[in-house]
Amino acid sequence: MEGENHTGLYLVGIVVLLFLIPAAILGAIIAIRILPIFYAECKVLGLCHGVGEEGAGGEICTQVPEPYRTIFAEAGDKWKVQPAFIAAIFYAGEHGSSWPPYEEHAPLGSHLNPQPHDCNSGVGCIRGPMQIGEKNWPSWSNGAYGTSLPLDRIEWTKDAIYVATYHLAMIGAGGNTTDENKLTEAAAKYNGGTNPSNFSYEVYAKNVLTAFRKFHCPALAGSCSESIIEQAKKYAGIPYSQDEHCGPPTLGPAGVTALDCSGFVSRVYRDLGLFPESTCLTTKTIPGFSYLKEVSANEIKTGDLVLSCCPGHVVLYVSGDVTNKFTVWESGGGEAGGDVVREALRTARPNQRYFRATKCQ
């Protein structure tokens, strides 16, 4: 009897294994093939709240608060719109240059969804976190998701941002463009403007573009330090002149005939997107400039600014001991090498101060 009992148990065990092994294989197939598809879809539809890649952000500065920053980055990645531009539309275009407290659902009267306005316009009442016309919502959401979302989803922040981003791509902001003419036109169209002389162009789009420049942190090739010095080298040999302070209002060395010391560092930083394109600093305006942070002599890195006093002079640090002798890139300076943009060996001066672009960590 004992032998029969053992035989029966063996048979039961074999049957169980024959059932479990195919089930395990099927489960693995589902995990590998089905779950990623589900995850991708639920991300797009805004149903996977709290799920996202670590460090999402693309070319959007960290000064854009979370969770907005991650949502803008995800939406921008899907429809190839600069996330900094989506942030600028939200911040400067629709919320008076402010970051309202985040709400997943923003009902009427909330910070993200004040009372609707322009209800007599051709697009119906304009409302929701991205201020979208109710009559536009069905077609825009259908384009974004492949199906028209219910009108109440206009009040859900992530859905509204995704739908708005799809529309921005359709009106000229797609292809990850940073062309300011295209972005200006797209911003004006988003606000319903087509005439270059109306509010959408003159006020709305200009405010959005200013915010875009503030929030756009382009990914630099290599490290920040390497990129700064490589860009500085492109200006080698350009003469020093205080009269041609920052040179022409362009990017890059083409057409630049002369620069002074602060004009040189301003151009290098703005070429790389570390400063707004209109930036033209002097040695007096470097301290306190919002795109720079002061660091200590012990913290200095290649590409940082070294500012000295009396007479004022600013250089790009390369290497060496800033309390003794160190290598720099500079325009002018009065030491060996002539008054042109060049690499030079510099002697420390009293009361030196050191600054780093806030977009370089």
What tens digit of pLDDT does each residue of 4-16 get?
444 555 555 555 4
Distance CA 71, CA 149 (A): 19
Residue 143 and residue 121 in one domain: yes
- Are residue 151 and residue 182 in the same domain, yes or no? yes
334 in any annotated domain? yes
For the chain, what is the domain count? 2
User: Is 80 exceeded by the pLDDT of residue 211?
Assistant: yes
Q: Does residue 283 lie within any of the structural domains?
A: yes
Looking at the structure, do residues 234 and 204 belong to the same domain, yes or no?
no
Does residue 22 or residue 325 have the better pLDDT? 325
Q: What is the pLDDT of residue 198?
A: 76
What pLDDT, on a 0 to 100 scale, did the predictor assign at position 268? 96
Question: 204 and 250: one domain?
Answer: no
Q: What is the pLDDT of residue 358?
A: 87
CATH of the domain at 191: 1.10.530.10
Cβ-based neighbours of 299, under 8 Å, separated by 6 or more: 354
In a domain, 3, yes or no: no
The reply to whether 235 and 205 lie within a common domain is no
Q: Is 173 a domain residue?
A: yes
CATH number at residue 307: 3.90.1720.10
Q: Is residue 5 part of a domain?
A: no
- Pick the range with the lowest mean pLDDT from 16-30, 103-117, 313-327: 16-30
pTM metric for this prediction: 0.55
Q: Please tell me the predicted confidence (pLDDT) of residue 223.
A: 80
Whether 40 is covered by a domain: the verdict is no
Last residue of a domain, one of 168, 193, 215: 215
Percent of the chain clearing pLDDT 90 (strictly above):
57
Give domain status of residue 112, yes or no: yes
- Please indicate, yes or no, whether residues 170 and 236 belong to a single structural domain of this protein: no
According to the 3-state scheme, what is the secondary structure of the chain? CHHHHHHHHHHHHHHHHHHHHHHHHHHHHHHHHHHHHHHHHHHHCCCCCCCCCCCCCCCECCCCCCCHHHHHHHHHHHHCCCHHHHHHHHHHHHCCCCCCCCCCECCCCECCECCCECCCCCCCCEECCCCEECCCHHHHHHHHHCCCCCHHHHHEHHHHHHHHHHHHHHHHHCCCCCCHHHHHHHHHHHCCCCCCCCHHHHHHHHHHHHHHHHHECCCCCCCHHHHHHHHHHCCCCCEECCCCCCCCCCCCCCCCCCECHHHHHHHHHHHCCCCCCCCCCCCCCCCCCCCEEEECHHHCCCCCEEEECCCCEEEEEEEECCCCEEEEEEECCCCCCCCEEEEEEEECCCCCEEEEECCCC
Beta bridge partners of 317: 328
Residue carrying structure tokens 């629709």: 94
Instruction: Tell whether 264 and 187 lie within a shared domain.
Output: no
249 & 143 share domain? no
- The rounded mean pLDDT for the chain is 83
Could you say which of 168, 184, 215 is where a domain stops? 215
Question: Last residue of some domain: 215, 245, 278?
Answer: 215
Rounded-to-integer distance, Cα 328 and Cα 302, Å: 9
* Closest alpha carbon to 118 in 189, 192, 204: 192
Q: Is residue 20 part of a domain?
A: no
Amino acid making up residue 41:
E
pLDDT over threshold 70, residue 30: no
Query: Same domain, yes or no, for 117 and 232?
Result: no
Per the structure, the complete domain to which residue 320 belongs is given by 224-357
On whether both 73 and 211 belong to a single domain, the answer is yes
Above 50 in pLDDT, residue 2?
no
Same domain, 177 and 243: no
My answer on whether 112 and 189 are in the same domain is yes
Question: Angle, nearest 10°, between helix axes 157-168 and 68-79?
Answer: 40
pLDDT digits (tens, 9 = 90+) for 149-194: 999 999 999 999 999 999 999 999 999 888 889 999 999 999 887 6
Q: Kindly state the average pLDDT of the residues 305-323.
A: 93
